[in-house]
A = this chain, B = another copy of it.
Amino acid sequence: MRICFTLKVRAEMLAEYKLRHAAVWPEMLDALRATGWRNYSLFLAADGLLVGYLEADDLAACCARMKDYPVNARWQAEMAPFFEQLATGGADDNLMPLEEVFHLE
């Protein structure tokens, strides 16, 4: 299953967002791997549009399993101020997948 979601990074925090994602904590990477996030990329546009792409069996299950890893709560708490338009919770509570309308292997 291929999943795409978008978020919006605050304009004044783009540079810092990039720096932080060039050095994601190893424990966070381990948690992502252990909970089924595969081929996971984040792409950032100049206007702050952030696009996430990953392959997973079930995104909701991946996000739910991440809640078992304390490192996720610490990471999400540090990342939340970077985003515009979050409702309650962290980015991981606000992933709205787009509809896949085409795929070519």
Contacts and interface: CB of A to CB of B under 8 A. Distances in A.
A66 B57 CA distance: 33
Copies of this chain, count = 2
Interface in A25-74: 29, 32-33, 37-45, 49, 51, 53
B101 A44 contact: yes
Which label, helix, strand, loop or mixed, suits the secondary structure of the A interface?
A: strand
Give the interface centre of A39, A53, A101, A103 by most chain B CB atoms within 10 Å. Answer: A101
14 contacts: A2-B41, A6-B45, A18-B99, A38-B104, A39-B104, A39-B105, A41-B100, A41-B104, A42-B100, A42-B101, A42-B103, A43-B101, A45-B98, A45-B99
Contacts of A39: 104-105
